[in-house]
Amino acid sequence: MGKLDGKVALITGAGSGMGRSMAVLFAHEGAKVVAGEWNAESLAAVVDEIKAAGGEVTGVQGNVAVQAEAEGLVDRAMAAYGRLDILVNNAGVMDLNQGIGELSDAIWERVLGINLNGPMYITRRAVPHMVAQGGGAIVNIASVAGLSGATAGVAYTTSKHGLIGLTRSTAWIYAQKGIRCNAICPGGVETNIMASIDPTKMDPAGSARLQVFYNTMPGALKPIDIANLALYLVTDEARYINGQAIAADAGWMAT
């Protein structure tokens, strides 16, 4: 018997890194997974992997920064399975390590659009269904950049601080409706996240300043480390954990 038997889980950015690991693990634990991803190739690959292992999955291609496509993920989950128990807002992109003085409008809009507007659109669409069902569990993949100003540029840092705000507000306002909402704040994790930016465009001064803190990183995690924590947070074993921003960073935030 799986830990998520009978549950329906929507995971964004499911084609790579932590999202892929969570989609595979949640399906293995018996969840019906709705895998959201904007990259058609990686979406097809994770869908194939889950099906080959005997899991249940519906792949939905879309950009979480586009309101209709973000809301469409929830609509597809409801159409396919008639309920939504678990939402993981995971899709995200890096910035260019720019400080506020060097920030371009294009980077601000891209990073805030994907990392913060997307989770807002999807959570807003999902919560009424969860309230009607009597509850649900939401996990937002934030970052140590949601807890510190020393790990990324201003756009990424602001997006992840905002995502923790979305987490805490959702947790408090819907706690009595049976909805729990927590954030995971990973440190360095071995994924494909660096492919989300053009490394030749990184801001040199910002990168040099951030390197001071990167040099203190105790070690990198694997995507499965984050998937295991996310799994715990969406099960009833974590029923009293709500509104938290949990660092999963090998101790980096203890600095």
Active site residues: 156
Q: Does 42 bind ligand NAD (CB under 6 A)?
A: yes
From the list 92, 119, 136, 153, which residue makes contact with ligand NAD (rule: CB under 6 A)? 92
> Smaller CB distance to ligand NAD: residue 45 or 238?
45
Q: Does 19 bind ligand NAD (CB under 6 A)?
A: yes
93-112 residues in contact with ligand NAD (CB under 6 A) are: 93
Taking the C-alpha atoms of residue 221 and residue 225, their distance in angstroms, rounded to an integer, is 6
Q: Does 230 bind ligand NAD (CB under 6 A)?
A: no
Which residues contact residue 103 at a Cβ distance below 8 angstroms, ignoring those fewer than 6 apart?
153, 154, 155
From the list 24, 91, 116, 147, which residue makes contact with ligand NAD (rule: CB under 6 A)? 91
Cα dihedral sign for 50, 55, 61, 66?
negative
Token digits for 161?
Answer: 């601080």
133-162 residues in contact with ligand NAD (CB under 6 A) are: 141, 143
Q: How far is the CB of 177 from ligand NAD (least distance, A)?
A: 26
Taking the C-alpha atoms of residue 143 and residue 159, their distance in angstroms, rounded to an integer, is 10
Which residues contact residue 77 at a Cβ distance below 8 angstroms, ignoring those fewer than 6 apart?
8, 10, 34, 58, 84
Kindly tell me the number of DSSP H helices and DSSP E strands found in the chain: 8, 7
Q: Does 192 bind ligand NAD (CB under 6 A)?
A: yes
Contact status, residue 62 vs residue 50, Cβ threshold 8 Å: no
Q: Does 17 bind ligand NAD (CB under 6 A)?
A: yes
From the list 193, 197, 227, 247, which residue makes contact with ligand NAD (rule: CB under 6 A)? 193
Choose the stretch contacting ligand NAD; rule: CB under 6 A; options: 87-95, 127-135, 202-210, 228-236. Answer: 87-95
> Smaller CB distance to ligand NAD: residue 132 or 232?
232
Taking the C-alpha atoms of residue 210 and residue 48, their distance in angstroms, rounded to an integer, is 39
**With helix as H, strand as E and coil as C, how does 47-67 read?**
HHHHHHCCCEEEEEECCCCCH
Total residue length of the chain: 255
- Interface residues with ligand NAD (CB under 6 A) are 12-13, 15-19, 37-39, 42, 63-65, 90-93, 114, 141, 143, 186, 188-189, 191-193, 196
